[in-house]
Amino acid sequence: MNNNDLVAKLWKLCDNLRDGGVSYQNYVNELASLLFLKMCKETGQEVDLLPKGYRWDDLKIRIGQEQHLYYRNMLVQLGADDHAIVQAIFQNVNTTITQPKQLTELISNMDSLDWYGNSGHKSRDDFGDMYEGLLQKNANETKSGAGQYFTPRPLIKTIVNVMKPQPREVIQDPAAGTAGFLIESDRFIKANTNDMEDLDLDTQDFQVSRAFIGLELVPETRRLALMNCLLHDIEGNTDHGGAIRLGNTLGSDGENLPKAHLILTNPPFGSAAGTNITRTFVHPTNNKQLCFMQHIVESLMPGGRAAVVVPDNVLFEGGKGTDIRRDLMDKCNLHTILRLPTGIFYAQGVKTNVLFFTKGSVSNPAQDKHCTENVWVYDLRANMSNFGKRTPFGNQHLKPFEDVYGEDPNGLSPRTEGEWSFNAEELETPDTAENQNVDHHMATSRWRKFSREWIRDSKGDSLDISWLKDNNSIDAANLPEPSVLAAEAMGELVQALGELDALMRELGAGDDADAQKVLLNEMLGEVK
């Protein structure tokens, strides 16, 4: 049985939990606790990680009420364990399963799964990959909330491929989520070092305990990330409770992170204004994403590189936003921007980009002025598919970008404008500053270069650079008057309310329908 089959079966096992009142959001937490115990047994980690008497076999030999009580106590004991990482994983964790029969059935079914299939064995990374699949399944199913910390894995893979993490580099993610960037970086390094066999023992130890550092604000998410790291053989610094620390990047916890050679991150979306910004930045602002950008620049070592996913507002916001972008282009070589299609994150409609930059200039890593000379932009947004479950976003959509990015992780490979994937030659080119003095063929390219001077003089240091007409977008200039739009919306709502009223009466809920009409009358006046 392959990992995808196992993930599907594990998720299917939770169907009976829903009948017992366990929500989708809690599925993964319930599975994670049990799966971690089971994986420790299967990967031989029990002796190193779990105390005697609190292991998988101790749990599965019990049934019913005895097992349920034992499991609740087991979670408490592991949450106070001497092993710092185990304690961090299980601290303040409890179960939302209230029916002993459901717990017994879940444990029994998990234990009977064919974990190894025809291969006869699985490595620790195999189990880690299966756990990653479970996290992805959770993000796909729950959507609300999950997308805050789950970055699409094809995007993570491409970012890591072009940034090329190396052994003995300190790699940081200040918004770690479930540790996807750190896991993929570890996978990349292992793939290029014969599973670390080519490295000396001290470097191998560095990779396991010191190379990867994440910071996560939400305790439940940090717990998932710690499990993810351990299953991929990333222990991190035990003095800090593992590779993923718990804390606020925009407070003192962020200031205390060690400097990094490489930062890969997707800071949280949502409301730009944040109340948890307790740290003093050079450019004070209540915009969390802009504060994260300042943290990243401050946390990079000279010559260090970064790739960060940001929403569009970071590219064009005025005031402090302009100051922060100007500071970024002064202190770093912002060499590449990838404009991402909408719909690939679980917060639908969010427009995002990836900024790639290196601290300092090509000739001087310590330089802090005029480091950016040219910015290359790849537009993967205009006239792309509406991605979702029916049209999944995959590695094939990012391969053209990887090709033009080049082999040098600092964006220093020879580059040539011009890339016309996904029918770009058929796109219209509006009359914008980006298309002045550019022939039509090049104006339809998805891959173009813009000088630092042009960005300053023509864009006022905005990085919202676009030149292709997106036929899927709505042109505000062609919209009807607001009163017309409002009337259309009101008409659709009235029709929908009428249909719902009729349905409720067919279902015998006429009294409830009348009560709802009373509420509407109070709000809008009498509804006939």
Between 182 and 440, residue with greater pLDDT: 182
Give the model's confidence band at 151: pLDDT under 50 very low, under 70 low, under 90 confident, else very high.
confident
- Cα gap 372→374, rounded to integer Å: 6
* pLDDT confidence of residue 145: 43
Average per-residue pLDDT for the chain: 86
Residue 187 has pLDDT above 80, yes or no: yes
Residue 19 has pLDDT above 70, yes or no: no
Q: Homologous superfamily of 3-138 in CATH?
A: N6 adenine-specific DNA methyltransferase, N-terminal domain (1.20.1260.30)
What pLDDT digit, counting tens, does each position of 220-237 carry? 889 889 988 988 889 998
pTM: 0.84
* pLDDT confidence of residue 275: 64
Residue 56: enclosing H or E segment and its boundaries? helix 56-60
CATH class given for the domain over 267-471: alpha beta
What pLDDT digit, counting tens, does each position of 356-412 carry? 999 999 899 999 999 999 999 999 999 898 787 778 899 999 999 999 999 999 999
Go through 29-67 and write b for each residue having 16 or more CB atoms within 10 A of its CB, e for each that does not. Answer: bbbbbbbbbbbbebbebbeebbeeebbbeebbebeeeeb
Between 478 and 62, residue with greater pLDDT: 62
Residue 336: enclosing H or E segment and its boundaries? strand 332-339
What pLDDT digit, counting tens, does each position of 275-297 carry? 689 999 999 999 999 999 999 99
Residue 148 has pLDDT above 70, yes or no: no
Closest CA to 266 of 124, 94, 148, 390: 148
* pLDDT confidence of residue 146: 41
Domains 147-258 and 267-471 share a fold: yes
- Cα gap 115→39, rounded to integer Å: 10
Give the model's confidence band at 111: pLDDT under 50 very low, under 70 low, under 90 confident, else very high.
confident
Do 194 and 200 touch, CB atoms closer than 8 A? no
* pLDDT confidence of residue 362: 85
- Written as six digits, the tokens of 208 are 């396991």
- Which of 100-109, 302-311, 482-491 has the weakest average pLDDT? 482-491
CB half-sphere exposure, 468, CA atoms < 13 A: 28
361's CB contacts (< 8 A; 6+ apart) are 333, 367, 370, 371
Question: What does the pLDDT average to over 328-335?
Answer: 98
291's CB contacts (< 8 A; 6+ apart) are 250, 274, 277, 279, 281, 285
Give the model's confidence band at 421: pLDDT under 50 very low, under 70 low, under 90 confident, else very high.
very high
How many CB atoms sit inside 10 A of residue 486's CB? Answer: 11
Architecture of domain 147-258: 3-Layer(aba) Sandwich (3.40)
- Cα gap 98→354, rounded to integer Å: 44
* pLDDT confidence of residue 483: 62
- Cα gap 23→27, rounded to integer Å: 6
Between 72 and 347, residue with greater pLDDT: 72
What pLDDT digit, counting tens, does each position of 189-226 carry? 999 999 999 999 999 999 999 999 999 998 888 988 99
* pLDDT confidence of residue 488: 54
Residue holding tokens 């040098």? 408
Q: What share of the chain is helix, strand, coil (3-state, %, to 5)?
A: 50, 10, 40
**DSSP string for 80-146:** T-SSHHHHHHHTT-------HHHHHHHHHHHHHS-SSGGGS---HHHHHHHHHHHHHHHHHHH-TTG
Domain ranges across the chain: 3-138, 147-258, 267-471, 479-524
Question: What does the pLDDT average to over 296-304?
Answer: 97
Highest-scoring range by mean pLDDT, 28-42, 99-113, 259-273, 362-376: 362-376
Residue 212: enclosing H or E segment and its boundaries? strand 212-216
Cα 506 from chain centre: 45
Report the Cα–Cα distance between both ends of the chain, in Å, rounded. Answer: 60
Residue 66 has pLDDT above 90, yes or no: yes
Do 27 and 17 touch, CB atoms closer than 8 A? yes
Residue 476 has pLDDT above 50, yes or no: no
